[in-house]
Every structure is written in C-alpha cells, then in structure tokens.
C-alpha cells in the first residue's frame, strides 16, 4: 500500500496498515484494509478503509460497426390530420397520445411492428380501440377511435410510427472474459422524438467507412459507410451507458487495462477512431475536465481534439465516432459520447469503467 495517494494531495501519506481483508471463498474479490492517513508522514488525520480493485483488461477496438435495432412496440414520431366526411380529425391526438409514446398493445394484442398496429386499427373498423402505451417509464391506457378517410374509406388513427432504427457507431471494446461487446457510450434514440429506443431485438454488422461530412459550429458532421451482410453480434442492452451484447465475430482489438476514474489526469490523451475504411487510427486529444460526481454518466470527461490531421479532415468529432476509445498512458479511460454542437473540436466522454460494468 505504499503507493496509495490522495489525488492532488501528495503531502498526505499512509502511516499505518491494519492488514488486508478479502471475502472468504472469493479469491478475486475486491480486497480492503484500514489505513491511517498522516500529514507529512507524522501527524495522523484519519483512519479510513481503502479498497483494492483487481485490474481488468479488454480488447480496445475503435472500429466502425452498424447497428440494426427493432423496438419493443411502435414509437409515435408524427401526427397527421385525417380528412373525413366531418372535416379534419386526429383520433390519436384526441386520445391523448404524444410524440415519443411507445404503443405496446392495441385491442388486447401485443404490438411489435408498424404492420401489427395498422392491422389492429383496420380491424377495429371505426369502433373504439384500447391502446396501452409507455411514456417516461410509466405505462398508460387510452381509447382511440379510428376514422374513415373521406376518399379511400380506409380507417386511420392520424399517427406515424416507427418500429426500427439503424445507424453507424464505433466499437469501444470487446470483453473476452464475458464474450461481450461495448459501443457508443450512450443510448440509441429516435431521430425525430429524441426518445431512447426500447429494445426488442438487434444485431451488429461490420461497416466500411466511405466518407464523412465535416463538422462546423452549429452543424455536426457525420461518418458515412456501407453495411456488411455479416452479422457479428446480438444487441442485448440499449441504455444510457451505451449499446452492449454478445459478440460472435472474429477476434480484434488490442489488449489494454481499464483505468479507474481516479487514475485519469488532465492533459494529453488519444482517441482511436476510423474515418476511412475499417481500420482505426490514433488521434491526439487533451482531457480538459474529469467529472467524478456521476450526475451525468455521458459527460464524465470533456476532451478537446488537438490532432492536426483529424481537425483538417472532419473538423473534430462527428456523428458515428461515438464509442471511440479514449486512452491515456496506455490505459483505456473512456469513450467519446457526444460532440459540442457549437464547437466540434470538443466532446464528452463516459468512463470506461462504467462501460465495463454494463458489459458484464
């Protein structure tokens, strides 16, 4: 324990060591001990319990991948008034639906696709139809009465819905210990409503980056690429810490130790990202802020791109680079999550340690 230090307080050191303790039967469990902190090595301040966490290594990637996801229901993304013999009507609005609501049941039948919702509306033939939907993590029910179009006679509800999504992201790492992958560092959300997609099923495929749109202040750029037909994994989780699942593709990446948040320092670092083809390159960045409060896991780190090559090509961070690994002193410290809209040279990152826990 002689290397124990308090961040930014090198004048505080360990004076005593009360011995190491580990949970019986778990040789790889976290170990702890009581230590006394002393000022200048002689004035005791406080006795605390320190925890020694075993280090973990993962295969750091930085490669692009395509994500195809199907939502667990039909997401309301737009409203459209219907013209009937009585004039303009909108049954969905009258039923109290809002943008971002996820319809999971109609007429007692589970809804998994746009087609299933359309069938339920057509079958109702103008009769009241009970809908069950989710909003802000809560489940509600309402009654919707479809109306007949004045021209075609078809029954409609006045809504546009979406049941799937696809896009490009960056693979952060593979965890050989659990056979899992981790990417993006944030949830996949609907482009129209901003609502996180409630996952029913999903898969990942390799991507070949064919070009990019550079980012400018007020206009985020993006990577463009072609999806492969080869499925290399199954998406199991889509949440605020990223996209995770089972990896079935060929081994890739470079083994690196995952740093604890306390080991991250302000200053020079690098990101691994792919802006052409499918091979990542290393680009220099500077870590400008480390947020240890955990109030927003997608903004644990603030980084600034300093690499001349990356700045000259993409202008900094662009869409599709989410998940790009951030490394410092040979350790994986985090992953890129967002770009600052008004300054594409800067972006936010999530702690790698948080992603490792989510990938387990």
Q: In order along the chain (360 residues), what is the average pLDDT of each group of 10 residues?
A: 49 53 44 62 61 80 93 90 88 93 93 91 92 92 93 90 89 94 90 80 94 89 92 92 94 94 95 95 96 82 96 94 96 95 94 91
- Total Cβ atoms within 10 A of residue 52: 13
CA angle 20, 23, 26 (to 5 degrees): 115
Q: Check whether residue 194 and residue 300 sit in a common domain.
A: yes
What does the pLDDT read at residue 41?
A: 60
Establish if 4 belongs to a structural domain.
Answer: no
What does the pLDDT read at residue 244?
A: 95
81 as an active site residue: the answer is: no
Among 71, 105, 273, 322, which one carries the catalytic annotation?
322
Establish if 147 belongs to a structural domain.
Answer: yes
What does the pLDDT read at residue 16?
A: 53
The structural domain count of the chain equals 3
DSSP 8-state assignment for residue 309? H
Number of helices and strands in the chain (H, E): 4, 26
Establish if 73 belongs to a structural domain.
Answer: no
Question: Is the Cβ–Cβ distance between 209 and 178 less than 8 Å?
Answer: no
307 as an active site residue: the answer is: yes
Q: Check whether residue 39 and residue 141 sit in a common domain.
A: no
Q: Check whether residue 349 and residue 317 sit in a common domain.
A: yes
Query: Domain range spanning residue 26?
Result: 12-52
- Total Cβ atoms within 10 A of residue 272: 25
What does the pLDDT read at residue 220?
A: 85
Q: Check whether residue 126 and residue 196 sit in a common domain.
A: no
Among 71, 105, 186, 273, which one carries the catalytic annotation?
186
Which of 157, 175, 209 represents a domain boundary (last residue)? 157
Place of tokens 């990152």: 349
Q: Check whether residue 233 and residue 127 sit in a common domain.
A: no
190 as an active site residue: the answer is: no
Among 165, 190, 307, 338, which one carries the catalytic annotation?
307
């Amino acid at each position: 324990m002689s290397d124990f230090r308090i961040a930014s307080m090198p004048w505080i050191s360990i004076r005593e060591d009360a011995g190491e303790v580990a949970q019986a039967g778990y040789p790889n469990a976290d170990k702890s001990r009581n230590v006394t902190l002393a000022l200048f090595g002689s004035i005791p301040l406080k006795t605390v319990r320190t925890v020694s966490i075993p280090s973990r290594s993962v295969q750091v990637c930085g490669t692009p991948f395509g994500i195809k996801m199907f939502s667990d229901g039909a997401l309301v993304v737009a409203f459209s008034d219907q013209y009937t013999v009585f004039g303009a009507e909108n049954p969905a609005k009258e039923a109290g639906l809002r943008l971002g609501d996820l319809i999971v049941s109609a007429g007692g039948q589970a809804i998994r696709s746009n087609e299933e919702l359309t069938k339920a509306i057509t079958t109702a033939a103008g009769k009241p139809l009970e809908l069950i939907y989710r909003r802000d993590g809560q489940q509600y029910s309402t009654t919707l009465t479809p109306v007949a179009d004045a021209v075609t006679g078809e029954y409609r509800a006045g809504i546009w819905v979406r049941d799937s999504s696809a896009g490009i992201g960056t693979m952060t790492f593979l965890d050989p210990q659990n056979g899992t992958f981790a990417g993006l560092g944030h949830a996949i959300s609907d482009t129209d409503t901003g609502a996180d997609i409630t996952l029913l099923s999903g898969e990942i495929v390799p991507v070949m980056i064919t070009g990019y749109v550079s980012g400018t202040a007020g206009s985020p750029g993006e990577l463009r690429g072609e999806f492969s037909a080869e499925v290399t994994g199954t998406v199991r989780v889509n949440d605020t810490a990223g996209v995770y699942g089972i990896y079935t593709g060929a081994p890739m990446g470079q083994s690196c130790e995952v740093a604890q948040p306390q080991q991250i320092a302000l200053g020079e670092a690098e990101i691994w990202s792919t802006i052409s083809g499918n091979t990542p390159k290393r680009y220099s960045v500077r870590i400008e802020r480390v947020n240890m409060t955990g109030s927003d896991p997608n903004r644990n780190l603030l980084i600034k791109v300093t690499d001349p090559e990356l700045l000259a090509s993409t202008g900094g961070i662009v869409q599709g680079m989410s998940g790009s690994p951030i490394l410092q002193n040979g350790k994986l410290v985090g992953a890129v999550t967002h770009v600052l809209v008004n300054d594409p040279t800067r972006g936010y990152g999530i702690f790698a340690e948080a992603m490792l826990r989510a990938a387990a």
